[in-house]
Structure 1
Amino acid sequence: MKRLLLAVSLVALSGCNAGRSAMGGAEQVGAGFAAAATAPLEDFNLRRQMIPTVLLQAEANPYDLRNLNQCTTIGAEVARLDEALGPDTDEPPRQDGSYLSERAADAAAKAALNAIRDTTTDFIPGRNWIRRLSGAEQHSKHVQSAIQSGRMRRAFLKGMGMQRNCAPPAAPSWFRPHP
C-alpha cells in the first residue's frame, strides 16, 4: 500500500513539473518573440549586435600582457572573457538541477523562436544582397572575428596562467598548481 501511494505521489509530482516546464517554455517563447519577429532589422542594419569591450580589446591585441603579472589579474581577465563568451570548453557543464521536461521545453522554445526568425527573414527578396549593401554582413563578420579573438585570448591567458603556476580560473579547470 505504501509503495502504491509513493508511486502515485511521484506521478503527480512529475506531472506538476511537466506543467511548470511547459509554462516556462511558453514564457520563453513569449519573451523571445519580439526579437525573433524583428530579425529583419538586423538584415537592414537598423539593429546591431553590440560587441563587448573585452572582445574588442582581444581583437586589437590578443597577446597583450600589460598589467597581467599576477595570477589574480590573469584570473580577473579570464573572468571578463567568460562573462562575454560563456564558459570555456574546459569547464564542466553546469548541473542546474533541471528536469528532463524543463530541458525539453527549452529546446521546443528555441525551435519555435528559430522558426519565427526564419519565417520573418525568408520573405526578404535578395536578402544576401541587402545584407551586403546595408553593412549587416560586414558587422556580422566583425562580431564573429571578435568572438574568435576572445576565445584565442582566453586560451592564451590560461596557458600563461599554467606557465606561472596559477590556480583556475587563471589556468584551465583541470590544472593543479605545484606547491
Structure 2
Amino acid sequence: MKSFPLLLVAAVVLAGCNAGRSAMSGAEQVGAGLGDAVTAPLEDFNLRRQLIPTVLLQAEANPYDLRNLNQCTTIGAEVARLDEALGPDTDEPPRQDGSYRSEQAADAAAKATLDAIRGTTTDFIPGRSWVRRLSGAEQHSRHVQSAIQAGRMRRAFLKGIGMQRNCAPPAAPSWFRPRR
C-alpha cells in the first residue's frame, strides 16, 4: 500500500509533462499558421487563391462519369482520391489518434487563436463584401464550394455504384459487407 502514493505522484508528474508538451505543440501550430492568418486579406483582394484539387474539378465537370470505373479496385481508388481532397466521409468512424485531452485542448486553442487573428486582419478592410465582389474573390469562393459539393456528390454516387456491384469498402460505405 506504500507504493500507491508513489504511483500517484508519478502519474501526476507524467500528466504535467504531457500538458507542457501539448502547450508547446499548440504554440508551434499558432506559429506555423500565423503567416496565413495575417495575410488573409490577400484572399479578399483576390491576390491569393485557394487551389481546387483536380479531382474536385473533374467531379464538378461530370459527377456521374463511369468511364474506366468497371472494377471495384478502380472505384475504390477514385473514392480514395476524393477522400484525400475532401477528408473522411460521414460513414467513416472518427479516427482514434491516441491524443490526450490536453493535446486536443491545445489544438482547439491554437485554432481559436488563428481564427481570431484572421478575423482581426480581415475586419480592417472597409466595405469588405464589396471588395470581395469587385476583386472576384467572392466568385472564386463560390467556385470552391461548388467543387467541394460536386466532390461529395461524386463520392456518394461511387459508393452507391460500389454497393450495387458488391464491392468492399472503400468502394462502398464502410458499413457495407459484400455478399459472397
TM-score range relative to shorter protein: over 0.9
Deviations 1:54-103 (A, max 9, x none): 00000000000000000000000000000000000000000000000000
Deviations 1:4-43 (A, max 9, x none): 0100000000000000000000000000000000000000
Query: 2:96 and 2:6 mapped to 1: Cα distance?
Result: 30
Give the letter for the 1:153 counterpart: R
Give the letter for the 2:90 counterpart: T
In the alignment, does 2:49 pair up with 1:14? no
Query: 1:18 and 1:111 mapped to 2: Cα distance?
Result: 18
Task: Please list every run of 5 or more consecutive structure 1 residues that lacks an aligned counterpart in the other structure.
Answer: none
Deviations 1:148-168 (A, max 9, x none): 000000000000000000000
Query: 1:66 and 1:150 mapped to 2: Cα distance?
Result: 16
Q: Which residue of 2 aligns with 1:5?
A: 6
Deviations 1:105-138 (A, max 9, x none): 0000000000000000001000000000000000
Give the letter for the 1:85 counterpart: L
Question: RMSD across aligned C-alpha pairs, in angstroms?
Answer: 0.3
Q: Which residue of 2 aligns with 1:166?
A: 167
Alignment of 1:27-106 (within 5 A): 27-106=28-107
Query: 1:173 and 1:89 mapped to 2: Cα distance?
Result: 10
Give the drift of 1:143: 0.1
Query: 1:111 and 1:128 mapped to 2: Cα distance?
Result: 23
Q: Is the partner of 2:50 in helix, strand or coil? A: coil
Alignment of 1:133-152 (within 5 A): 133-152=134-153
Query: 1:112 and 1:151 mapped to 2: Cα distance?
Result: 30
Q: Is the partner of 1:46 in helix, strand or coil? A: coil
Give the letter for the 2:115 counterpart: N
Query: 1:88 and 1:20 mapped to 2: Cα distance?
Result: 31
Give the letter for the 1:146 counterpart: A
Query: 1:157 and 1:40 mapped to 2: Cα distance?
Result: 38
Query: 1:4 and 1:152 mapped to 2: Cα distance?
Result: 57
Give the letter for the 2:120 counterpart: T
Give the letter for the 2:132 counterpart: R
Query: 1:110 and 1:99 mapped to 2: Cα distance?
Result: 17
Instruction: Give every structure 1 segment of 4 or more consecutive aligned residues whose post-TM-superposition deviation is greater than 4 Å.
Output: none
Task: Please list every run of 5 or more consecutive structure 2 residues that lacks an aligned counterpart in the other structure.
Answer: none
Give the letter for the 2:46 counterpart: N
